[in-house]
Amino acid sequence: MAKARDSIAILGGTGDQGLGLALRFARAGRTVVIGSRKLDRALRAVEEVRQAVPDADVSGFENPEATRGAPIVIVSVPFEHTAGTVKAIRSELESGQLLVSMAVPLATAVGDGAVRTVGIWQGSCAELVQSLAPDGVQVVSAFQNVSAHRLRDLENAVECDVVISGAKAARERVMELCSLVPGLRGVDGGPLANARIVEQITALLIGMNARYKLPEGLGIRFTGLPD
């Protein structure tokens, strides 16, 4: 399959957050490729995108095929499936492709609650992904703190900053993705290791959403940034 030069593959694009990104990027006119472990689930998500965004340029595949040739591959599966997903697509990944890690090591992965996290040997989910990726494939951490509900609510802006961590040139490619979504602002999160902080913030937000009874989900903004 020949992918569009600027296509965005979203593995786990059938989940809440992945589907939300798919909707937003499709709405912005980008070519979106939805990946899933099961083809039929990917195709159902494609249908959902088309219903919300009738002129969407969207297609669905199993994860390895979705990965092949996509310049940017967003890994949007739950944390407990992230390592397995990266291993499954590994042989498809080629130098120059960008892998975006957005999972959060919530303690639900080990039977504990979503307001707590587990510590990752490599430092963060994003660094774990980097450790599993082939040489030449850069990993960027982003999108962890964006509410799935707000992403999917196409009538409203998302109102959230996205902290982007990774190598500089790679960060900038994801910065550009953020600019496609009304209300999202990419901010420079420095080296990939900072993902360990950004990922933790999600667990804090989940707790705050529960305490404040906000099913639509909080966002985060940095004040004092230059325009």
Which residues lie near a second copy (CB under 8 A)?
79-84, 87, 105, 107, 109-112, 115-123, 128, 147, 150, 159-160, 163, 187-190, 193-194, 196-198, 200-201, 203-205, 207-208, 211-212, 214, 216-226
CB of 141 to a second copy, least distance (A): 12
Smallest separation, CB 41 to a second copy (Å)? 20
| Residue (of 86, 96, 166, 182) closest to 174 by Cα position | 166
Q: What is the DSSP string of 41-75?
A: HHHHHHHHHHHHSTT--EEEEEHHHHHTT-SEEEE
Q: Which is nearer to a second copy, 7 or 143 (CB)?
A: 143
Cβ-based nearer residue to a second copy, 88 or 180: 88
By three-state DSSP, how is residue 78 classified?
coil
- In the bound state with a second copy, the residue whose beta carbon lies nearer, of 8 and 146, is 146
* Amino acid in position 76: S
Residue whose structure tokens are 């420095």: 190
For the CB of residue 211, give the shortest distance to a second copy in the complex, in Å.
Answer: 5
In the complex, the smallest distance separating the C-beta of residue 5 from a second copy, rounded to whole angstroms, is 30
> Which CB sits closer to a second copy, 1 or 225?
225
Phi, psi of 163 (to 5 degrees): -80, 125
Is-contact 182 28, C-beta < 8 A?
no
Nearer to a second copy, 59 or 130 (CB): 130
Q: How far apart are alpha carbons 3 and 67 in whole angstroms?
A: 10
Q: Output the smallest distance, CB 35 to a second copy, in A.
A: 17
Q: What letter would DSSP give residue 134?
A: P
